[in-house]
Amino acid sequence: MGPIGEKQMPVSWSKAATPLVFFALLLAAGCTTIEFSKAPELPVVAVEPPAVEQPSPPPLPPNTPVPAPAPEPAAPAATLSLSMQDAIELALEKNLGLQVEQIDPASARTLIAEQRALFDPAVDASLTRSKARSERDFITAVPLDVPSGAGTPAGTITIDERAEAGSETYTTSGDLGVSEYLPTGTTINASVSPSRSRADTFTSRIGAEGSDTLLDSAGTDLSISQHLLQGFGLKVNLAGLRQAKLAALSSDYEFRAAVENLVAEVETTYWDYTLAQEQINILEESLTLAQNQAKEVEERIRVGVLAETERAAADAEVALRQNLLIDGRSRLNQLRLQLLRLLNPDEQALEHQDLAITTQPVMPEIDLDTVPQSIAFAQQMRPELNQARLLIQRDELSLITTRNGLLPQLDLILSLSKGLTETEYAQIFRESTRNIENEDARASVGAVFSYPIGNRAARARHNRAEFSRDKDEQALANLAQLVEQDVRSAYIELRRAREQIAATAATRKLQETVARTEAEKMRLGSSTSLLVAQAQRDLLEAQINEVEAAKNFLQAIVNLYRLDGSLLIRRGIDCPGAQPIKL
């Protein structure tokens, strides 16, 4: 070691590199528990050709309920032309409600990162610089030579001399440590604490010289604490992380339910709007017929064939058809707004935008003998059932945690430390340098035990977790029964709607015959305008009922596919939550 004025690394600092290497290895080992991942992203919904899914849905009908779109008719620039497929894709891309639902799955995944952070290593570092000064006065005996004088011989005498001594100490110290809690229930703390002190001594005694003392030290500490009972093992320590993953997965199924409901609402509203347009055409034709009938009555009254009293019935029927047409157009505009809100094609989606529907309703053949298959598929694929199963799995993890809380706390603690000290006296001995090295090592092991008498809080939490698990299991059984009821009810409604198509068609044909008969009788003078108006009114009602029956059948198909969980699969929509959960 050279003089103090030279810049040279002390030997003690180089030896401190050994614990620093150990510290770096410990930090690298701790980092292995960190799983680096991208920030949570919004779930993606893609529309693709239907793929083969396991388990497979109930057999699809031979004719698809949504046929290929017909050639788009010419439409004005302000008109939005829509096929059923276009409407679904537009809604999945731009519906504001669905964009709100997309945030929840991404938000739920932040809980996973939060739970993983419990096992991330933490680094602590500190650096301090201090100065200390001390002074003291003392009296020392100083020999003094006395020359010979008159009557006194030469010699040496001793006198007391007051002197001042002190020191200034400059200390620079640091601490660098890492700590980590492992999923096994192990807590590791490691630290390195280097320090350098320089003490400058001084004295006011004549002929005395001051000195500088340099002291370097470095200490390493390693402590390990292991839970032996409460908090021991991967199951209990990873329970929170696994619960967070289940919560994120549950949000996927919740999002899938929102997508299913949106697609079903788009299809239902699309058919409502389509059939409302058909009803407008029927009402306009009916109004034209009533107006022609009123003109004929007016002509017959003018020529004296009919009495003046016949005019009132004919005019009243015209007014009634006008009222029905006004109501029909109002309903059509309401449905247009509803469909535009679902699709949200642009920022001014609800402002004066007309729709041109290009997919015409086609009545498919549906096999109504697949109830058991639909129920079995619904039991696997309904999002709320899968969410309920995930909730039971989370309850099981809660039981693991609360059951572990019933155990006493017993921790094994191991502590290791080593210190290294080196001192340099360079200015006291100018001709040589003297080094003194000291090494101290300590090791300790112990145990800590703790157990609250009665442990009532932990037992209460465990009992509550058991009750929650039992409740969720019963709720799952109840929900499964409700799902079965939904599917069976959907088949009943589908069967009714299909039978109503034939019934309303037959009724409409009969009412057409009645209306023609009454009109012919009136021309022959054997009927009245009131009877003709009543027959035409019944015909109008039959025509509207026939259109309603077709709409109800198409919507019943959509509702069945939504309730048995196959709607998105049948429409070729890829969405999170497509895999069934098994207990």
Listing DSSP states for 499-531 in one string gives HHHHHHHHHHHHHHHHHHHHHHHHHHTSS-HHH
10 has pLDDT over 70: no
Is residue 347 very low, low, confident or very high in pLDDT (cuts 50, 70, 90)?
confident
Residues in the chain: 583
What pLDDT is recorded for position 550? 93
180 has pLDDT over 50: yes
Of 155-164, 421-430, 489-498, least confident by mean pLDDT is: 421-430
Structure tokens, 214: 């340099």
**Cβ(314)–Cβ(293) below 8 Å:** yes
pTM for the model stands at 0.77
Structure tokens, 492: 């009943």
Structure tokens, 581: 């959960």
Of 201-215, 312-326, 492-506, least confident by mean pLDDT is: 201-215
Q: Which ranges in 344-449 belong to alpha helices (H)?
A: 371-381, 383-405
Report residue 296: phi and psi, to 5°: -65, -40
C-alpha 350/C-alpha 356 separation (Å) is 15
C-alpha 517/C-alpha 300 separation (Å) is 18
Assign 243 to helix, strand or coil. helix
Assign 153 to helix, strand or coil. coil
554 has pLDDT over 60: yes
Is residue 109 very low, low, confident or very high in pLDDT (cuts 50, 70, 90)?
very high
What pLDDT is recorded for position 433? 39
Question: What domains can be seen in the chain, in order of their start residue?
Answer: 1-34+126-133+166-227+409-450 (no CATH), 238-355+368-401+457-574 (1.20.1600.10)
Tally Cβ neighbours within 10 Å of residue 551: 21
Per-residue pLDDT of 299-345, as tens digits, reads: 888 888 778 888 888 888 899 999 999 999 999 999 999 999 999 98
Which segment, 165-179, 208-222, 367-381, is predicted with the most confidence on average?
367-381
What pLDDT is recorded for position 212? 72
Amino acid, single-letter form, for residue 372: P
Structure tokens, 39: 């920030």
Average pLDDT over all residues of the chain? 82
23 versus 526: which is more confidently predicted? 526
What pLDDT is recorded for position 205? 57
What pLDDT is recorded for position 327? 94
Per-residue pLDDT of 15-43, as tens digits, reads: 444 544 554 555 555 555 545 456 667 77
What pLDDT is recorded for position 9? 39
224 versus 137: which is more confidently predicted? 224
What pLDDT is recorded for position 373? 94
Segment 532-540 mean pLDDT: 88
**Cβ(278)–Cβ(331) below 8 Å:** no
Tally Cβ neighbours within 10 Å of residue 47: 16
Beta strand extents in 230-358 (DSSP E only)? 354-357
**Cβ(104)–Cβ(255) below 8 Å:** yes
Report residue 126: phi and psi, to 5°: -150, 155
Structure tokens, 67: 């046929």
What pLDDT is recorded for position 152? 52
Helix (H) or strand (E) holding 442: strand 434-450
Amino acid, single-letter form, for residue 36: F
129 versus 47: which is more confidently predicted? 129
What pLDDT is recorded for position 70? 44
361 has pLDDT over 80: yes
What pLDDT is recorded for position 45? 74
Give percent of the chain above pLDDT 70. 77
Q: In which order are the strands placed within the sheet that holds 211-227?
A: 122-146, 155-181, 186-203, 211-227, 409-425, 434-450
User: How far from 153 is each of 147, 157, 159, CA to CA, in Å?
Assistant: 7, 12, 18
Per-residue pLDDT of 43-95, as tens digits, reads: 777 776 554 444 445 554 444 444 444 444 444 446 888 899 999 999 999 99
What pLDDT is recorded for position 63? 46
Is residue 136 very low, low, confident or very high in pLDDT (cuts 50, 70, 90)?
confident
**Cβ(298)–Cβ(315) below 8 Å:** no
Is residue 430 very low, low, confident or very high in pLDDT (cuts 50, 70, 90)?
very low
CA neighbor of 189 nearest in space, from 16, 5, 27, 427: 27
Give percent of the chain above pLDDT 90. 55
Q: Are strands 409-425 and 434-450 parallel, antiparallel or unpaired?
A: antiparallel
Tally Cβ neighbours within 10 Å of residue 117: 11
Report residue 169: phi and psi, to 5°: -115, 125
C-alpha 204/C-alpha 383 separation (Å) is 90
